[in-house]
């Protein structure tokens, strides 16, 4: 699915055009052989064409103040942060995408994030532990408009939540060691499979019990939301907890 409004950003920020094609292939391997349990929901479909009517929000209230979004792509989840909420060192990442309204952070095993599997052997070894990568991308609208409201849950953050989330995201990136020419800088991997998609080395490792969804839960917990990352492996479990929390936080 191509998120709406992506064409309004500068070229280097046009990062989400065919993102979910990667999700349907390479990101499936991130959770294999757990795919049967993890893939209960299908990947998002295209939605309204560019320039068409806005998506139906189902009448739900849009949170005001600082927020964070959980974006669910079937078996995979991303974290969406309004660009203006990025603070501290994470501002360096925001500056990579001038004009972006929302920054999206996705975590996964490095080999499958940057090189989709082509053989059954590569798919089988996909879930085994290994170095992780973070994909940073940008959209020129809010997450719900880009992906459709039914694939996005946006939660209000407690005071200081955006700052804590920014700190978590910054710490999630691996940095060049002290004593090197680029000490403290993010360890860039590749431009990615599509124009503007940026891959960076993660500071943690991917594993059977530390998946993309575990990482997303850690991000939400770091922001001060009552989410317990322990035991979260599949997107369904995290999505259910976040939607329950949303109902608790939404006035009747």
**Band of pLDDT at residue 25, cut at 50, 70 and 90:** very low
Q: What is the DSSP string of 50-84?
A: TTSPPPP-TTPPPP-SSEEEEEEETTEEEEEEEGG
HSE-CB of 237 using CA atoms within 13 angstroms: 16
Residues 94, 166: contact at Cβ < 8 Å? no
pLDDT at 63: 53
Phi, psi of 199 (to 5 degrees): -110, 135
Q: Is 50 exceeded by the pLDDT of residue 40?
A: no
pLDDT of residue 180: 78
The DSSP element (H or E) to which 37 belongs, if any, is helix 35-38
At 213-248, the pLDDT tens digits run: 999 999 999 999 999 999 899 989 999 999 999 999
């Amino acid at each position: 699915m191509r998120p709406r409004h992506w064409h309004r950003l500068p070229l280097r920020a046009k990062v989400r055009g065919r993102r979910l094609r990667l999700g349907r292939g390479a990101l499936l391997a991130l959770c294999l052989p757990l795919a049967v349990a993890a893939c209960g929901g299908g990947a998002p479909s295209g939605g309204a064409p560019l320039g068409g009517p806005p998506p139906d929000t189902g009448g739900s209230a849009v949170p005001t103040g600082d927020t964070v979004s959980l974006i669910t792509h079937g078996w995979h989840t991303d974290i969406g942060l309004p660009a203006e909420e990025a603070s501290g060192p994470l501002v360096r990442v925001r500056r990579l995408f001038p004009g972006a309204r929302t920054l999206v952070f996705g975590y996964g095993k490095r080999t499958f994030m940057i090189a989709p599997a082509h053989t059954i052997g590569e798919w089988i070894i996909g879930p085994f532990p290994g170095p992780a990568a973070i994909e940073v991308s940008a959209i020129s609208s809010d997450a719900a408009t880009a992906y459709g409201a039914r694939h996005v849950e946006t939660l209000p953050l407690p005071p200081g939540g955006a700052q804590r989330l920014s700190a978590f995201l910054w710490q999630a990136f691996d940095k060049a060691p002290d004593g090197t020419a680029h000490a403290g800088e993010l360890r860039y991997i590749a431009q990615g499979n599509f124009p503007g998609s940026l891959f960076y080395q993660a500071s943690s490792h991917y594993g059977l019990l530390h998946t993309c969804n575990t990482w997303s839960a850690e991000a939400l917990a770091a922001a001060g939301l009552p989410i317990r990352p322990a035991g979260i492996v599949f997107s369904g479990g995290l999505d259910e907890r976040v939607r329950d929390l949303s109902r608790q936080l939404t006035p009747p």
